Every structure is written in structure tokens, then in C-alpha cells.
């Protein structure tokens, strides 16, 4: 799934730097093969800590915005990411929920660090609440490829029936799922 997301991101010309953050050192190899940057988050896995690390790195490098995408959205396309960015306009926060409406599957922060990341249970509501408390302009964008995430085994048949040609689907076919 990570490879699928990275392939989509690499095709979006508006994205200038891609960074993968992980506590799994084997992910470093994937990042290198895909030609993207890698940050090791340390031994303790914590999604929000990893996102904060990436945001600090982006700020250090002078970024004016940060797009945060999880690696479990294999149906996302470059076209969809570009469309998401276009729809973000000049909003401080642009957010795309997961299919169930509870998770956050895309979060654009302008500037990076505009709000504290709150990934986990009910992150969509938490991110919106944080933005509203800070009186930041916010836009919600619903896009199918971004909305579909793989959180449970019950999500795999939907992935298998997708019409797109992606690495995740090929691997599932190879293991005869």
C-alpha cells in the first residue's frame, strides 16, 4: 500500500518533497527505491509523533504547507491528490475523511504545524475541532480514493474488486486472497 501511495504522490508536480516516517527500518529500503526521503521515528511507534517529526522537518526546510497522507489508502491517484490540492485553495486546513467519516485520510496544513496532529480514533472530528478553536479557515474535501483505507480484513475484498492496477491488488492476488 505504501508503494501505491508513493507512486501517486511522485506523479503530482505540485509536491516538491516526499518524506516517509517510520519506526520500521525496512521501510527505509522502500523509500530509497521509490526515490523519497526517509525519517526514522525512533523505536516507539506513535503516529502523531511521526507526523510531528515530519512537520518539524518540513518547517526546517522552509515548507509553506504539509500534506499528510497515511500509507493505507492504496486507491489514491495522482489526479485525486492534485485535485485535493487545487480544492484546498488558500485554506489553512484542508481535510479529507475516511469512508466511515471518523478517520482523517488527507490533511493539508498551511503552514505546517497549523494544528497539532490528532490521528487515531475520531481524528477527523479532532482535527476539525482543533482548526475551529484556532479560528483557521477549513475546507472538507471528499474523494473516493482518499476515503478508502484498509483498516480491517473486511476491506480487502473491496480492494480486490477495484478496477485500478495497483501493487496492493497484485500482492493480494498472488496470495490468493
pLDDT value at position 148? 83
Opening angle at CA 134, ends 131 and 140, nearest 5: 20
**How far is C-alpha 105 from the geometric centre of its chain's CA atoms?**
6
User: What total of structural domains would you count in the chain?
Assistant: 1
123 lies in which domain range? 2-174
Predicted TM-score (pTM) of this structure: 0.86
In whole angstroms, what is the distance from residue 110 CA to residue 117 CA? 13
pLDDT in tens, the chain (177 residues): 889 899 999 999 999 999 999 988 889 999 999 999 999 988 777 899 999 999 999 999 999 999 999 998 988 999 999 999 999 999 999 999 999 999 999 999 999 999 999 999 999 999 999 999 999 999 999 998 899 887 666 655 665 565 565 555 555 555 555
In whole angstroms, what is the distance from residue 93 CA to residue 68 CA? 11
pLDDT value at position 1? 81
pLDDT value at position 158? 66
pLDDT value at position 45? 79
pLDDT value at position 19? 96
* Nearest by Cα to 59 from 17, 8, 9: 17
CATH number at residue 86: 3.90.550.10
Amino acid at each position: 500500500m505504501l508503494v501505491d501511495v508513493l507512486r501517486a504522490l511522485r506523479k503530482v508536480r505540485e509536491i516538491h518533497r516526499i518524506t516517509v516516517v517510520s519506526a520500521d527500518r525496512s521501510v527505509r529500503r522502500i523509500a530509497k527505491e521509490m526515490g523519497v526521503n526517509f525519517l526514522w521515528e525512533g523505536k516507539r511507534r506513535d503516529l502523531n509523533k511521526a507526523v510531528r517529526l515530519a512537520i518539524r522537518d518540513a518547517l526546517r526546510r522552509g515548507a509553506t504547507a504539509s500534506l499528510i497522507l497515511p500509507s493505507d489508502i492504496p486507491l489514491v491517484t495522482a489526479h485525486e491528490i492534485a485535485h485535493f490540492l487545487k480544492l484546498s485553495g488558500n485554506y489553512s486546513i484542508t481535510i479529507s475523511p475516511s469512508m466511515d467519516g471518523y478517520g482523517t485520510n488527507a490533511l493539508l496544513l498551511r503552514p505546517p504545524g497549523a494544528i497539532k496532529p490528532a490521528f487515531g480514533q475520531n481524528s477527523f472530528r479532532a482535527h476539525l475541532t482543533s482548526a475551529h478553536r484556532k479560528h483557521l479557515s477549513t475546507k472538507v474535501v471528499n474523494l473516493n480514493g482518499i476515503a478508502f483505507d484498509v483498516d480491517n480484513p473486511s476491506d480487502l475484498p473491496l480492494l480486490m474488486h477495484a478496477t485500478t492496477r495497483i501493487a496492493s491488488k497484485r500482492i493480494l492476488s498472488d496470495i490468493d486472497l
